[in-house]
């Protein structure tokens, strides 16, 4: 998709972090942006900052886990700007923290409600508008956790894997129906956001404070191993503006996958190679015999 002056984009989770950076990148390209977020004060501050730059923005308080709220967001977008060309389903939250078998069902509902259903609601509310106009792009923000798992983050990893899967599905469906609408799923690593800043503070905390945030079953050596792994990840932290530019470049190149961080290539490659090895073990090189009813 060519991003150009006169278009209208919707960005959820736009009040701060990567969402705000994506909105700023679109504004720099002459796009009018609907800013959606659940944080009222931060959203208003962000909207005022963009307006002061001469941008055309519309802030809309939106809980993406609520399908009706996202439908209202779509209606307000079209009513206010008369069109919509891109939806960026960016809103997300963290979750997890313990072994999968001890995870809290309410945590699963909360994380999936925002991270997964929030994206589904965005697709269902906005893609019909794109289909009617015969153009546009859907951008879903997943995570590196959508391609490579991390221990003690089961609900978060599951939600981000699901975002990757529905993005792949959506792109395939649009292709089959010959609808010229693009889909990009972004899988960034560590981006400088309040969530990551908090994590950076935590891994530098004293042993007692650090231990409180980890499963009690872990030994001291295992706790330090987790701390070291997180420190290595945080050392690769990327400014949100850099990640946003890489994602928007992937949109303009009509790429399905936007992998902003090269630091995690090995984790993704290891998973992919394991899947390919399993396929090879099943004889994908020629052992499969197709059957037919023709005689």
Residue 82 sits at the vertex; the CA angle it makes with 77 and 88, to the nearest 5 degrees, is 40
Residue 216 C-alpha from the chain's centroid: 30
Identified catalytic residue from 80, 156, 190, 257: 156
CATH for 8-190+238-263 (3.40.50.11890, 3.40.50.1100, 3.40.50.300, 3.40.50.720): 3.40.50.720
Distance CA 269, CA 289 (A): 29
Q: Is 156 a catalytic residue?
A: yes
Helix ranges (H only) for 177-219 are 194-203, 207-212
Tokens 């050596």 sit on residue? 221
Given this model, what pLDDT does residue 285 score?
46
The two tokens of residue 267 are: 């984790």
Given this model, what pLDDT does residue 279 score?
80
pTM for the model stands at: 0.87
Tokens 């009040």 sit on residue? 15
Name which of 60, 74, 156 is nearest 114 in CA terms.
156
Given this model, what pLDDT does residue 275 score?
78
Coil, strand or helix at 282: coil
Name which of 206, 201, 187 is nearest 256 in CA terms.
187
Distance CA 7, CA 2 (A): 10
Helix ranges (H only) for the chain are 17-28, 40-52, 67-81, 105-111, 117-133, 154-176, 194-203, 207-212, 220-234, 240-252, 265-281
C-alpha dist (Å) from residue 195 to 15, 17, 103, 219, 285: 14, 9, 20, 26, 45
Sheet with 32-37, edge to edge strand ranges: 57-61, 32-37, 8-12, 86-89, 137-141, 182-186, 257-258
Residue pair 59/35 in contact by the 8 Å Cβ criterion = yes
Tokens 């720099």 sit on residue? 28
Residue pair 34/8 in contact by the 8 Å Cβ criterion = yes
Given this model, what pLDDT does residue 164 score?
97
Given this model, what pLDDT does residue 295 score?
35
CATH 3.40.50.720 maps onto the chain at 8-190+238-263
Distance CA 238, CA 258 (A): 14
pLDDT per 10-residue tile (average), the chain, 295 residues: 97 97 98 98 98 97 98 98 98 86 93 98 98 97 90 92 97 97 95 83 80 79 83 88 96 94 69 80 51 42
């Amino acid at each position: 998709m060519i991003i150009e002056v006169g278009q209208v984009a919707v960005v959820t989770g736009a009040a701060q972090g990567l969402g705000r950076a994506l909105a700023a990148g679109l504004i720099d390209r002459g796009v009018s942006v609907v800013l959606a977020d659940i944080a009222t004060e931060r959203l208003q501050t962000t909207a005022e900052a963009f307006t002061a730059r001469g941008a055309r923005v519309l802030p809309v308080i939106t809980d993406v886990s609520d399908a009706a709220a996202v439908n209202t967001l779509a209606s307000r977008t079209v009513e206010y700007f008369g069109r919509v060309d891109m939806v960026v389903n960016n809103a997300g939250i963290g979750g997890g923290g313990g072994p999968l078998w001890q995870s809290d069902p309410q945590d699963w509902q909360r994380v999936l409600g925002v991270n997964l259903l929030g994206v589904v609601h965005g697709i269902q509310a906005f893609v019909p508008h794109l289909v009617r106009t015969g153009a546009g792009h859907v951008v879903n923000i997943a995570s590196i956790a959508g391609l490579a798992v991390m221990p003690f983050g089961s609900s978060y990893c599951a939600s981000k894997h699901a975002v990757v899967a529905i993005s792949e599905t959506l792109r395939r469906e649009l292709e089959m129906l010959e609808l010229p609408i693009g889909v990009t799923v972004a899988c960034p690593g560590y981006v400088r956001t309040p969530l990551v800043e908090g994590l950076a503070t935590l891994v530098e905390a004293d042993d007692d404070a650090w231990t409180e945030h980890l499963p009690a079953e872990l030994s001291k050596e295992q706790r330090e191993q987790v701390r070291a792994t997180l420190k290595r990840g945080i050392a690769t932290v990327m400014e949100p503006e850099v990640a946003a530019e890489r994602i928007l470049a992937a949109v303009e190149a009509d790429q399905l996958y936007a992998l902003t961080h090269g630091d995690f290539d090995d984790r993704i490659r290891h998973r992919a190679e394991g899947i390919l090895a399993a396929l090879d073990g099943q004889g994908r090189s020629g052992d499969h015999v197709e059957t037919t009813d023709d005689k």
